[in-house]
C-alpha cells in the first residue's frame, strides 16, 4: 500500500512545480515594478507592468502603470493610462470606474492652468495675475484605494486557475495509478487461471487491487472534470460576481470520486 501511495503522490507533486514557479515569478516581477516606481524610475516600473499585462491580460496592471506615473509627477502619462484602463475594462464595476475617474481628476488638478488675459482698460496698468504652481508632492493613496486594490486582486481568478491545474494533476496521477493496478490485476488473474496455481491469499489481493483500481479511475475522472471547471471559472471570472468553488474527495463502500461544491 505504501508503494501505491507514492505512485499517486509523486506525479502530482512534479506537475505542480511549473504552477508554483509561474506564481513566484509573477510576484517577483510585481515587487520589482513597485520598487522601481517608488525609487523614481517610472520607465522601468511601467515596462515591467506592461510585460505582466501581456502575460496575464489583467487590466489592473494598466491601472498600476497610471499610479506609477502619478507617483512620479508624470500626470499626462498617468491620465492616458487611467483612461486606457476604463476603455479596456468592459466588466468594471461602478466603484472601480469611480476610483479610476478620481485619479484622472486628481492628475488634471496638478497640471498648471493658464489664466485668461485681463481686459485692457484705460488708466494704471493692471496687476498681473498670480499663477498658482502645481503641488510639489503627490498625496498618498487613501485607505479606500488600498481596499479597492485588494478587492481587484482577489477577483483576478488566478487562485481558481491554479487550483484547477492542481486538481487536474491529481486526477491524472489517479488515472495512472488505476491503469497500473488494472494491469497488475490482469496479470494476477492470468496466473490464477493456470492449473494447480490457485491461491486464496493471491485472489484476495487481486480483488483488493481491482477495487483500488476502480477508486483510482473514479477519483481521477472527477478531479480532471473538476480541475477543468475550476480553470474555466478562473479564466472567465467576472468582476461583477463572486464565485466560491470547493473540490473534495468522496469515498464510500463500492464508490469513489470527488464532490464539486460552489456558488456563482
C-alpha torsion sign, points 52, 58, 64, 69: positive
DSSP 115: P
**Count of domains for the chain:** 2
Average pLDDT over residues 101-126: 76
Whether 35 and 95 map to the same domain: the answer is yes
Give the Cα-Cα-Cα angle 158, 163, 168 (nearest 5 degrees). 130
Statement: residue 236 has pLDDT above 70: yes
**Long-range Cβ pairs for the range 127-134 (8 Å, 24+):** 134/110
Q: What is the pTM of this model?
A: 0.39
Asked whether residue 8 is assigned to any structural domain, the reply reads no
Q: Give the whole-number percent of the chain exceeding pLDDT 70.
A: 62
State how far the Cα of 11 lies from the Cα of 223, in Å rounded to an integer: 14
Asked if residue 5 is part of any domain, the answer here is no
Q: What is the pLDDT of residue 231?
A: 76
- Report the DSSP beta bridge partners of residue 22: none
Residues 189 and 105 in one domain: no
Residue given cell 486464496 in the structure block: 200
Domain assignment of residue 131, yes or no = no
Write the pLDDT tens digit of every residue in 28-86.
Answer: 999 999 999 999 999 999 999 999 999 999 999 999 999 999 999 999 999 999 999 99
Query: pLDDT-based confidence at 21, cuts 50/70/90?
Result: confident
Question: Are the C-beta atoms of 205 and 181 separated by less than 8 Å?
Answer: no
The C-alpha atoms of residue 190 and residue 79 are separated, in whole angstroms, by 75
Among 84-98, 158-172, 205-219, 244-258, top mean pLDDT goes to 84-98
What is the residue range of 251's domain?
A: 158-263
Residue 31 sits in the same domain as residue 50: yes
Range ranked top by mean pLDDT from 8-17, 112-121, 255-264: 112-121
Same domain, 149 and 30: yes
Q: Residues 53, 149: one domain?
A: yes
**pLDDT-wise least confident of 91-100, 138-147, 217-226:** 138-147
Beta strands in 66-140 (DSSP E): none
Picking from 153, 155, 169, the residue whose alpha carbon sits closest to that of residue 228 is 169
pLDDT surpasses 50 at 146: no
Q: Which residues are 250's β-sheet partners?
A: 257
Greater confidence, 105 or 219? Answer: 105
Euclidean distance between CA atoms 263 and 246, whole angstroms: 9
Considering the domain architecture, whether residues 21 and 148 belong to the same structural domain is answered as: yes
Instruction: Quote the mean pLDDT of the chain.
Output: 77
pLDDT in tens, 157-184: 677 778 878 888 888 888 898 888 889 8
Rounded to the nearest 5 degrees, what angle is found at the Cα of 85, between the Cα atoms of 101 and 37?
Answer: 90
Give the pLDDT confidence score for residue 214 in this predicted structure: 83
Same domain, 165 and 224: yes
Q: Determine the pLDDT at residue 28.
A: 92
CA dist., res. 186 & res. 190, Å (int): 6
pLDDT at 240: 47
Q: Does some domain include residue 207?
A: yes
In the predicted structure, residue 198 carries a pLDDT above the cut 60 = yes
pLDDT at 197 > cutoff 70: no
Task: Report pLDDT for 67.
Answer: 95
Amino acid at each position: 500500500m505504501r508503494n501505491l501511495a507514492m505512485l499517486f503522490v509523486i506525479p502530482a507533486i512534479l506537475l505542480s512545480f511549473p504552477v508554483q514557479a509561474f506564481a513566484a515569478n509573477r510576484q517577483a516581477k510585481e515587487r520589482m515594478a513597485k520598487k522601481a516606481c517608488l525609487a523614481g524610475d517610472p520607465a522601468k516600473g511601467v515596462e515591467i507592468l506592461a510585460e505582466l499585462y501581456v502575460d496575464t491580460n489583467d487590466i489592473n496592471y494598466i491601472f498600476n502603470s497610471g499610479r506609477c506615473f502619478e507617483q512620479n509627477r508624470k500626470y499626462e502619462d498617468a491620465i492616458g493610462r487611467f483612461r486606457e484602463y476604463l476603455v479596456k475594462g468592459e466588466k468594471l464595476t461602478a466603484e472601480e470606474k469611480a476610483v479610476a475617474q478620481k485619479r484622472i481628476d486628481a492628475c488634471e488638478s496638478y497640471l498648471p492652468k493658464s489664466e485668461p488675459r485681463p481686459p485692457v482698460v484705460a488708466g494704471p496698468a493692471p496687476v498681473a495675475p498670480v499663477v498658482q504652481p502645481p503641488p510639489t508632492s503627490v498625496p498618498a493613496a487613501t485607505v479606500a484605494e488600498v481596499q479597492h486594490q485588494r478587492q481587484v486582486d482577489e477577483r483576478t481568478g488566478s487562485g481558481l486557475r491554479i487550483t484547477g491545474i492542481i486538481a487536474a494533476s491529481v486526477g491524472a496521477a489517479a488515472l495512472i495509478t488505476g491503469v497500473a493496478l488494472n494491469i497488475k490485476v490482469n496479470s494476477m488473474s492470468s496466473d490464477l487461471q493456470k492449473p494447480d496455481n490457485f491461491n486464496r491469499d493471491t485472489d484476495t489481493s487481486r480483488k483488493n487491487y481491482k477495487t483500488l483500481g476502480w477508486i483510482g479511475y473514479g477519483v481521477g475522472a472527477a478531479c480532471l472534470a473538476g480541475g477543468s471547471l475550476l480553470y474555466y471559472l478562473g479564466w472567465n471570472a467576472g468582476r461583477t460576481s463572486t464565485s466560491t468553488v470547493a473540490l473534495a474527495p468522496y469515498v464510500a463502500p463500492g464508490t469513489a470520486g470527488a464532490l464539486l461544491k460552489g456558488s456563482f
